[in-house]
Structure 1
Amino acid sequence: MRVYPDQLVRQLSPLPQCCLIFGDDPWLCEQSRAALHTEAKRQGFEEKIQLTQETGFSWNELYEQWQAMSLFSSRRIIELTLPQAKPGTEGSAMLQSLMQMDNPDVLLILTGPKLASEQTKSKWFKSLDAKGLYVPCTTPEGAQFQRWLDGRINHYGLSMGRDPREMLFALYEGNLLAADQALQLLQLLSPNAAIDCDQLSQYFEDQSRFSVFQLTDAMLNNQQDKAQHILSQLKSGGVAMPIILWSVFKELGILMQLKSTQNNRQPLQGVWSKLRIWDKRKPIYQTALNRLELNHVESLLAATSAIELKLKQQGIEDWTGLSHVSLLFDPKAHHKLSHIDLA
């Protein structure tokens, strides 16, 4: 039976005969294993046997461990790692045979990389799946990652609003292990107080001389020399590109809403309040609104999206492209640079 990692704990009483944990996300795999071991220990499984299908491995060893009496007169966990997720002909026959020999004093855990669809249709997989649980540990993306992140934030009892949550999403999407470690750090640093974006910037930007907020302010004010200098410093300081893109997208989204309202000849007062823009920051946005047209903002969004897509799909950090985006905050640059394709 297929069970996702966040549902696993609810399916472990009583324990199944076997459990298959396969996937490429190390955090989900380890958390699933830990949950299994914790519940197994509570139900009297004290002894652990670890096997790995590698050169020289004999499937008879698995059979002997399945049949052997525990040295400590307790129930036993046999954990078998399949590095290629392919037991082969002999292994497939052995696994199917063991599933015909019920042994309530043994819990078999198989672990390995992500399974292809054809592997889940194999005889060995079906025989184990019928007797136990299959836990696919695939890294969540998009809305699924946001739900996971919200769940971990609640797990650690952290208080943070939408913006810092979006900032964490941009910085850690695709890396659950690093995200969880960051949340543990935040729990130590701010166990009771609410956490805002300024604090996240301070904690996770390698103590750089400049912050991403200074960069976007320079862009909004069309301070091109300053913006290029800050961008260079952020790069040399090891600041993660996703957090810079998050900040640029955030400011462009605000500009888009303000400019659309302005073009529709509607008052900005309600939008200032809706976007929670303080009085002291209104002049920064007003300067950009007076300088940029709606089509300029749309071009900026398209260029920034191309950089983000290149990063997520190809793993390329396009710092030159970010420099190009900064220049496009000057409307004069659009006549000479907007035709350049950043994809």
Structure 2
Amino acid sequence: MELKPEQLVSQLRTGPLRPAYLIAGAEPLRVLEAADAVRAAARREGFTEREVFEAEGNQREPDWGAMSASFRAPSLFASRRLLELRLPSGKPGKEGAQVIVDFCESPPSDVTLLVTAGEWSRQHGGKWSEAIGRVGQIAVAWPVKPHELPGWIEQRLRMRGVKAEHAAVQCLADRVEGNLLAAAQEIDKLALLAEGEVLDVARMEELVADAARFDVFRVIDAAMNGQGAQVSRMLANLRAEGEAVPALLGMVVMELQRGATLARVQERGGNLAAEFKALRIWDTKQPMYKRALQRHGPARWDALVAEAGRVDRIAKGRPRIGQEPADAWVALERLLLALADTKAMRLIAG
């Protein structure tokens, strides 16, 4: 049976650990928290070893042979082991699927398999995921729909011991614009500031005032995730609130330069995981970058960085002759839309 990540987390608090888990979906926060719950349950049950398998260097897939051998190998310290398989694409391929099926047909008593995937749809599954479902659990983080967001927020508020009126919950949902990570951060803040009171709309607005400003980090996140409509909406709010383009541009350039660096590492078959660590990009942010890297190669990232320089010149009143638009906000919007969608690259061409 397919569970929601939150249902899996609840089960893991009381139930025994199963031989295999598949946690997938495009909501990084929900996938990460469910995977963390599996890891925590494994520690409680005496799992002292952990191995991670993922594609590295110029490999497109994990080392399936090494993974299969690890399933069969006895633990070095006679302890129980958690083996993690990370599949950003959600597709293990023919060889990987067979390795997973073989494991599930006769799972070792001292090993639990945790598979996480950053992308998922009904077409991603197959015999390998069905095999996991027979011996373990499958949890899918489907995107939270707008009408579901207040319920998700209310449940998380309860988990943090915060009480809020329905209108106040809706107020917070409107503020975060579907960004679950932003919602989680605001709820953690509310848990510290609410002091046991039942929050009404006025108090909620007071406590999350900063969240009303769709700050540049969220705009960049939306662009990296390919959410062009959200980019335009958030920029309109920032402009209405009196923000200045130069104040935002430094962070935009920083993220574009990070993307360009990662794209070059990926193109030459380097260790992307090590580069994420070197750039201090958190695990929760990495799926966002990986999606953007699928859209743009090094040349495009360099073009985006160059375009950011042009936006800066326009914002400071120094556009070059013949360059339009002269409105820095329009130029910034076109830049971020190009980051969100390859088709929009034509907006910054030339």
User: TM-score higher than 0.5 here?
Assistant: yes
Query: Map of 1:35-114 to 2, 5 A cutoff?
Result: 35-54=37-56, 55-56=58-59, 57-114=62-119
Who is 1:116 aligned against? 121
Who is 2:252 aligned against? none
Considering Cα pairs closer than 8 Å and 6+ residues apart, tell me whether 1 or 2 has the greater RCO. 2
Q: 2: distance between equivalents of 1:7 and 1:180?
A: 17
Quick one: which amino acid aligns to residue 78 of structure 1?
A: L
Deviation at 1:35, TM superposition (A): 1.2
Report if the CA contact (8 A) 1:157-1:191 is conserved.
no
Q: Cα distance 1:95–1:159, how it changes in 2: closer, same or farther (>3 A)?
A: closer
Query: Map of 1:1-343 to 2, 5 A cutoff?
Result: 1-12=1-12, 13-54=15-56, 55-56=58-59, 57-120=62-125, 122-206=126-210, 234-236=241-243
Report if the CA contact (8 A) 2:20-2:135 is conserved.
yes
Deviation at 1:208, TM superposition (A): 9.3
Report if the CA contact (8 A) 1:114-1:136 is conserved.
no
Q: Cα distance 1:204–1:64, how it changes in 2: closer, same or farther (>3 A)?
A: same
TM-score, normalised to structure 1's length?
Answer: 0.58
Quick one: which amino acid aligns to residue 112 of structure 1?
A: A
Q: 2: distance between equivalents of 1:116 and 1:208?
A: 33
Deviation at 1:136, TM superposition (A): 0.2
Q: Cα distance 1:21–1:123, how it changes in 2: closer, same or farther (>3 A)?
A: same
Deviation at 1:180, TM superposition (A): 1.1
Q: 2: distance between equivalents of 1:131 and 1:22?
A: 17
Deviation at 1:114, TM superposition (A): 2.9
Q: Which runs of 5+ in 1 are unaligned?
A: 210-229, 239-314, 316-343
Deviations 1:166-186 (CA, angstroms, capped at 9, x unpaired): 110111242221111101111
Report if the CA contact (8 A) 1:47-1:77 is conserved.
yes
Q: Cα distance 1:205–1:51, how it changes in 2: closer, same or farther (>3 A)?
A: same
What's the C-alpha RMSD, in Å, of the aligned pairs? 3.1
Q: 1: distance between equivalents of 2:87 and 2:20?
A: 15
Report if the CA contact (8 A) 2:53-2:86 is conserved.
yes
Quick one: which amino acid aligns to residue 110 of structure 1?
A: V
Report if the CA contact (8 A) 1:53-1:80 is conserved.
no
TM-score, normalised to structure 2's length?
Answer: 0.57
Q: Cα distance 1:204–1:235, how it changes in 2: closer, same or farther (>3 A)?
A: farther
Specify the SS of the correspondent of 2:74.
Answer: coil
The structure number with the bigger radius of gyration is 1
Report if the CA contact (8 A) 1:17-1:132 is conserved.
yes
Report if the CA contact (8 A) 1:22-1:114 is conserved.
yes
Q: Cα distance 1:232–1:59, how it changes in 2: closer, same or farther (>3 A)?
A: closer
| Matched length | 221
Q: 1: distance between equivalents of 2:8 and 2:50?
A: 20
